[in-house]
């Protein structure tokens, strides 16, 4: 684990206490059962905004605190432990990152203060198929009257029903499968021609399918440079991958803690089951995998904070390693708990479902193994 600063440790303690007391898994269960369209509770979001977590990446000039990516990761991990649902990651992490890396002064001034106070919810509209493949973008942005007209659709858009602004990855030239010819646009979610449909996923979080039918955007809505969006998108995605790893680590770490507690208390054949050597060895293996995964994801966040040259490499390594740990840990959570782990009344199933959904966000393990090898020249 990275050596956290005093400020980061304080934030970690604050996030842990708040999530445990104000937004525990019980609250997530209540939200799921309520069927609320946005897939989060407004009071939970208001509390997150009030604590200033929405401004962690944003410069003070726009109302933020500019504390860096590792600091944000500390908060995301604690919220991941309780499966706390909110637009924090999609908006204040991914969306804010896109604006910070590619936005001009006018765009940043128009949107970033709103991200901090919670009135603006940003999200990246990227995927168009069942698997992560940015180069397969086919949503067309055709030149028209000094601006562009968007036609196409996106799927698995994080917090898509709650978003007020969409950062849309579109194709201004070339064809699907080419990494060149992409452009990012800032599009109001209520723009004429934008249609959103809630997408129900196994983890009960906020996703949407979004379609664009002759959506008109101005040249001032381009984020970054026309036809050269791939470089910006790659930078945003690498930061997003490192960030989602923090959420995944929280989910996996809590699953480990739940399993360890069960091993210490469940009795069978007159003994606690943790005293059986095979289960003790299994717990030791899981702990080792957890610490290795944590080292990888924190190293990725630190690489971003110091502007290192290997951010892409470290982010793919983290997404693969953390994904491997979470996949294994969520399986073991169910297996070690046995029959009770399969019931909806017990929380273990929530962690398994979240694990399966979040593993695929911004690329699964197979995607990042391949990318890691390519980045190393293989």
Domain of residue 244, residue span: 230-375
If one counts every other C-beta atom within 10 angstroms of the C-beta of residue 313, the result is: 17
Q: Is residue 276 part of a domain?
A: yes
- Count of structural domains, the chain: 3
Given 92, 117, 142, the domain boundary residue is: 117
Q: Residues of the chain with pLDDT > 90: what percent?
A: 89
Query: Is 183 found in the same domain as 219?
Result: yes
Mean pLDDT, the chain, integer: 95
Query: Is 259 found in the same domain as 246?
Result: yes
For residue 267, the model assigns a pLDDT of 63
Residue spans of alpha helices (H) in 208-364: 229-265, 277-305, 311-337, 348-359
Q: Is residue 1 part of a domain?
A: no
Asked whether the predicted pLDDT for residue 221 surpasses 90, the reply is yes
Query: Is 188 found in the same domain as 150?
Result: yes
Query: Is 239 found in the same domain as 371?
Result: yes
Query: Is 211 found in the same domain as 131?
Result: yes
Torsion (CA) 297, 298, 303, 306 in degrees, nearest 10: 160
Confidence of residue 278 (pLDDT cuts 50, 70, 90): confident
Parallel, antiparallel, or unpaired for β 182-188 and 165-171?
antiparallel
* Distance between CA atoms of residues 159 and 51, nearest Å: 20
Q: What is the CATH number of the domain that holds 80?
A: 1.10.540.10
Asked whether the predicted pLDDT for residue 274 surpasses 70, the reply is no
Parallel, antiparallel, or unpaired for β 122-125 and 165-171?
parallel
Given 85, 117, 149, the domain boundary residue is: 117
Query: Is 348 found in the same domain as 277?
Result: yes
Given 91, 117, 143, the domain boundary residue is: 117
For residue 262, the model assigns a pLDDT of 74
Question: And the tokens for 121?
Answer: 């919810």
∠ CA 83-238-200, nearest 5°, is: 40
For residue 345, the model assigns a pLDDT of 85
Query: Is 99 found in the same domain as 141?
Result: no
Give per-residue pLDDT as tens, 40-84. Answer: 999 999 999 999 999 999 999 999 999 999 999 999 999 999 999
Task: Write down the pTM of the prediction.
Answer: 0.95
Confidence of residue 1 (pLDDT cuts 50, 70, 90): low
């Amino acid at each position: 684990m990275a050596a956290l600063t005093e400020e980061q440790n304080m934030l970690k303690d604050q996030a842990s206490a708040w999530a445990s007391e104000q937004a525990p898994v019980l609250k997530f269960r209540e939200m799921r059962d309520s069927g609320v369209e946005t897939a989060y509770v407004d009071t939970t979001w208001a509390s997150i905004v009030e604590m200033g977590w929405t401004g962690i990446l944003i410069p003070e000039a726009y109302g933020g605190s500019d504390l860096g990516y590792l600091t944000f990761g500390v908060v995301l991990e604690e919220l991941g432990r309780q499966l706390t649902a909110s637009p924090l990651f999609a908006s204040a992490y991914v969306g804010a990152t896109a604006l910070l890396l590619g936005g001009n002064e006018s765009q940043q001034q128009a949107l970033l203060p709103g991200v901090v106070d919670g009135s603006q919810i940003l999200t990246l509209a990227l995927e168009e198929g069942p698997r992560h493949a940015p180069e397969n973008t086919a949503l067309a942005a055709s030149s028209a009257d000094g601006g562009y007209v968007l036609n196409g659709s996106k799927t698995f858009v994080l917090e898509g029903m709650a978003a007020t602004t969409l950062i849309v990855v579109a194709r201004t030239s070339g064809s699907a499968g080419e990494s060149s010819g992409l452009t990012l646009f800032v599009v109001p979610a209520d723009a004429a021609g934008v249609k959103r449909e809630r997408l129900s996923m196994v983890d009960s979080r906020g996703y949407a399918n979004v379609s664009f039918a002759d959506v008109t955007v101005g040249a001032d809505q381009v984020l970054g440079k026309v036809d050269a969006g791939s470089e910006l998108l790659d930078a945003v995605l690498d930061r997003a991958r490192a960030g989602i790893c923090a959420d995944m680590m929280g989910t996996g770490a809590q699953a480990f803690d739940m399993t360890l507690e069960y091993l210490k208390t469940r009795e069978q054949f007159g003994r606690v089951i943790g005293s059986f050597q095979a289960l003790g060895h299994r717990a030791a293996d899981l702990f080792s995998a957890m610490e290795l995964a944590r080292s990888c994801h924190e190293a990725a966040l630190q690489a971003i904070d110091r502007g290192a040259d290997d951010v892409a490499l470290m982010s793919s390594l983290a997404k693969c390693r953390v994904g491997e740990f979470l996949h294994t840990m969520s399986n073991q959570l169910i297996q070690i708990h046995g029959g009770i782990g399969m019931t909806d009344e017990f929380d273990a199933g929530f962690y398994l479902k979240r694990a399966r959904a979040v593993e695929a966000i911004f690329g699964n393990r197979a995607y990042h193994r391949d990318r890691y090898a390519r980045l190393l020249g293989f």
